[in-house]
Chains A and B, each alone.
Chain A
Amino acid sequence: MRPSRRLVALVLALAAATVLIGVYRLDGGVMAGALWAVLVVLAICDLALSHGAKNLQVEADLPDTGFVGHDVMLGLRIASRRRSLPRRIELRLTHDQRLAPRSATWVEIPGHGKADLACELPVTLQERGVGHLSRLSMRYASALGLFEVLPAWPLDLSIEIVPDVAPVLNGEIQSQMLPLLDGLKDMKLRGEGSEFHQLRDFQAGMDPRSIDWKRSARMRDLVARETWAERNHQIILCVDSGQLMAERIGKLRKLDHAINASLALTWAGALGGDNVGFYNFASRPQQFIPPRPGRRAFGHVQKRSVELEAETAETNHTLGLTHLNGVLTRRSLVVVFSDFVDSVTVELLVENLAVISRQHLVLYVVLRDPELEALIHPEDISMGRIAEAVSARQMLQERQAVLDRLRRLGILCLDTTPDRLTAGLISRYIDIKSQELI
């Protein structure tokens, strides 16, 4: 418990009155003492009428697991043993850096006189790992508002924060892959799907070029060839875990966005019948998980990605990509999640991607920062804002120049915002599959 601002203001006002009494009255001691005595009586009455913190009881519940970047709800049940709960209470949580609850949450007690309250506080999961909630602090005003009561309870709650596989679990990936799985998409697109699937009767509206004339002649009826995309391609997810990937965009770090997209692509690859491998590098090459078919690859990649942390050292693209080029024996789709600062430091990355692209199909994935885009188009036009806009635009132009250069080298580039990353990556994968670029 501590004095409220109201009490502090009263004390300051009384102090000023005391000084005036001392200056203007020769025997003002009794008068000043009486004023202070009134305040003391008020404070004692306030304490007697207020809710005691010892009468409060709190139960908290947190889910065991959550996806990074998502909000989980901390369930709270606050009960008062004797009286009803205070009309308004404020809650704060002591936590580690992996969690980000709202700094202070006011909880209005619906219906005065209630002795029991159940509520939920949103907690954002910021980083992968195990997040801890260690303490719940509460604040409510005393009956007359002269004091703030500050009870606190130890919580000791933990939550395992894992990469976001929600798109996998809720079927989003599967629904996006359906056209490829059914063979419908490659029936509509020219030149895609070279692997023979079956013959079927030609129906009006089908592409005439799909008619198999030799068999139609033999069967004396029009027969169309139905194909589907080739399977058993090799996909390598190459994640840079250097210092630049530790930058936070939105709620998550770039590395977390990359891992979430990697897991989604792994699942898509499993659905598409391809083998998926995982590789990550930073200042030195790190673990390489060889390509595996089906859902086994997903389990391995998920396990590895949970442990992955961004380094504080600069990425060595030459060492990392040369090592990968050495271990790959078959033409693969190499999806590189990385980042760069400017056109000078990116030279080594471009050079090594160019070397890999001679044998493999490289898809370079880079995340665009929406805040940077917002800086370019300021709401109000002042000289300071314009200077920031020009500065940010120069940075983006350098970035665009690098991506253009990579495209000219035959490297596929995906430059997108974090919220569109997973969908954009799966879409690009489907395009690559249907166009048989691998």
Chain B
Amino acid sequence: MSDSAPQDTRAGKGPFLVVGALLLAGLLLLVTQSGIFGDRQIDRSPIGVQGLGAWLDRNDIAVTNSHPRLSPAVADLSFRVLPLYDLDLTGFHADREKRDDPAGAETLRDITATNLRTKLEEIPTLVLLPKWNGAMVETEVAHEQSLIPLARIERLIGQLDISGVELVRGVAEFYEDNQGGHDLALFHAQVFNPSTLPAQCRAEVGYGLGSLVVSCPLAEASHRAYFASDPDTLNNHGLAVADNAAFALDLLADLRGADTNPIYIDRSPDLLTRLDRGDERQDYDRGFEELERFFDYPFTLFWAALLIVLAVLFWRGALRFGPIRPAAGQGRDTSKRAAIAAKARLLRLSGNDGRMVSDFVRAQLQDLAARSFGRDLGGEAEARFMSLLARRDPDLARDFGACARNLIDNAPGMPPAQLNRMLGQYHSLLAKVVEHHGPV
């Protein structure tokens, strides 16, 4: 017993190790497939907006951060902050670019035009245009080489509601401007050219000679969409500079207006918000009135006719004339027939119809010969019978003999159509032979 105990213990660990390994593999798979790490890396980077949520929360402004498994109701939110990391809303390039050159990747998170349109129409939204590429995420250093060319960003603008607006970018230094009593400092400041704004859009916040935030009306919504030209106004990197953080508080407070619902920091390209359509539901009072309609005219006639038919049929079916008929085709009486039928079926399935016909005709000739000369004639049976038949009817003997010999010799190689034709001919000739000679 003492020897066996440790062995049992070791043996008992095996299943746990297997279960543990499977659990780890499952968790690993879950994490890698869900892309949690990749997304969070951007949000924590200088160009992310994770710090904005914390900053607003610290200043008693209600905030809701997007979460892949939570779906806040749209009605419970006041304003959305949506950073864009995609330069082409019609394609998916993020995975390929990050895989090929993580530092040079310009598209860091793909979002579809449909999703962006929906997000804009749900609640008032401030869209932060892209400015920095993947090098900012990787090195966390703001360098001229990390900037996305303006032409590429303007192509993105062409896909938004501010199509045609041009961007202007400052030199490699912090440019400070006082906005609402706060010193706003931006490195390589990126602003809209106000002269290129469409007529329906208006500048909300100016910066130097350009516009930092503009707003445009939406065709499908009553509110406006806001676009910030420089994401450094609100991202992790920009909030830490000068009075940018205080400016961000004032900016968001102004844009959301009197609505005190939480601001939604939307870091996901997916539609995670829930649109409650409770007002569209119509509850009906379900009473017996609907059911009663099935018993009004003309349904009463239909039901009455149906009941009468059922009653008459049931009456007829309920009374049997005589005893129950015994089941046929069972028992020992039919076993031999069943065996023959099964064997015949196997013969057909084997696909040797021609050979089968050949045997059949040969056997019938032997039977005819046996009726005339008795059994045990050996190989001469057919010849002797044919000579006997020839003495009575030479023409019939010639035709019948040729047909039978053809089937015996060539049936295995005949196509089915020819085989059936020859069989029909043989059958008619056999009928004449039997008429002359007597039954087989």
Contact = CB atoms under 8 A, between A and B. Distances in A.
Given A243-B332, A384-B348, A387-B345, A21 B319 contact: no
A139 B320 CA distance: 10
B68 to A, nearest CB: 57
A19 B302 contact: yes
Given A14-B305, A21-B301, A2 B315 contact: yes
A308 interface: no
B209 interface: no
Q: How large is the interface on B (under 10, 10 to 19, 20 to 34, 35 or more residues)?
A: 35 or more
Given A19-B301, A372-B336, A135 B316 contact: no
Nearest to B424: A381
A122 interface: no
Given A92-B323, A377-B440, A384-B348, A7 B301 contact: no
A90 B321 CA distance: 10
B76 interface: no
A137 B321 contact: yes
Given A22-B298, A247-B332, A388-B340, A11 B309 contact: yes
Interface stretch (B49-57, B121-129, B354-362): B354-362
A247 B333 contact: yes
Majority secondary structure of chain A interface residues (helix, strand, loop or mixed): helix
B423 interface: yes
Given A377-B440, A386-B356, A390-B359, A32 B340 contact: no
B357 A386 contact: yes
B392 interface: no
A386 B316 contact: no
A391 interface: yes
B327 to A, nearest CB: 12
A247 B333 CA distance: 5
Contact of A29 (B297, B325, B340): B297
A12 B309 CA distance: 7
Given A94-B322, A377-B440, A392 B340 contact: yes
Contact of B302 (A18, A36, A389): A18
B426 to A, nearest CB: 7
Interface string B288-318: 0000000001111110111011001101101
A135 B323 contact: yes
Nearest to B348: A387
B141 interface: no
Contact of B300 (A29, A139, A381, A394): A29
Contacts, number: 129
Contact of A248 (B321, B322, B333, B356): B333
A19 B309 CA distance: 12
Nearest to B349: A387
B374 to A, nearest CB: 14
A375 B344 CA distance: 11
Contact of B360 (A22, A97, A148, A386): A386
Given A32-B301, A148-B321, A247-B335, A11 B312 contact: yes
A255 to B, nearest CB: 11
A113 to B, nearest CB: 26
Contact of B347 (A1, A11, A22, A391): A391
Nearest to B323: A94
A327 interface: no
Contacts of A372: 336, 340
Contacts of B341: 388
Given A3-B312, A139-B321, A22 B302 contact: yes
Contacts of A348: none
Contact of A381 (B309, B426, B439): B426
A391 B298 contact: no
Contacts of B335: 247
Interface in A2-30: 2-3, 7-8, 11-12, 14-15, 18-19, 21-23, 26-29
Contacts of B436: none
Interface in A346-389: 369, 371-372, 375-377, 380-381, 383-384, 386-389
Contacts of B67: none
Given A3-B315, A384-B348, A393-B363, A18 B305 contact: yes
A107 interface: no
A281 B138 CA distance: 100
B249 to A, nearest CB: 74
A23 B298 contact: yes
B309 to A, nearest CB: 5
B404 to A, nearest CB: 13
Nearest to B357: A386
Contacts of A11: 308-309, 312
14 contacts: A2-B316, A8-B313, A8-B316, A11-B308, A22-B299, A23-B298, A28-B301, A135-B323, A247-B332, A247-B333, A247-B335, A248-B332, A377-B367, A387-B356
Give the 5 A-B CB pairs with smallest separation, nearest first. Answer: A92-B322, A22-B298, A387-B344, A391-B343, A15-B305
Given A2-B318, A371-B337, A383-B348, 13 more contacts: A8-B312, A11-B312, A15-B305, A15-B309, A19-B305, A27-B297, A29-B297, A90-B321, A247-B333, A375-B340, A384-B344, A387-B344, A390-B344
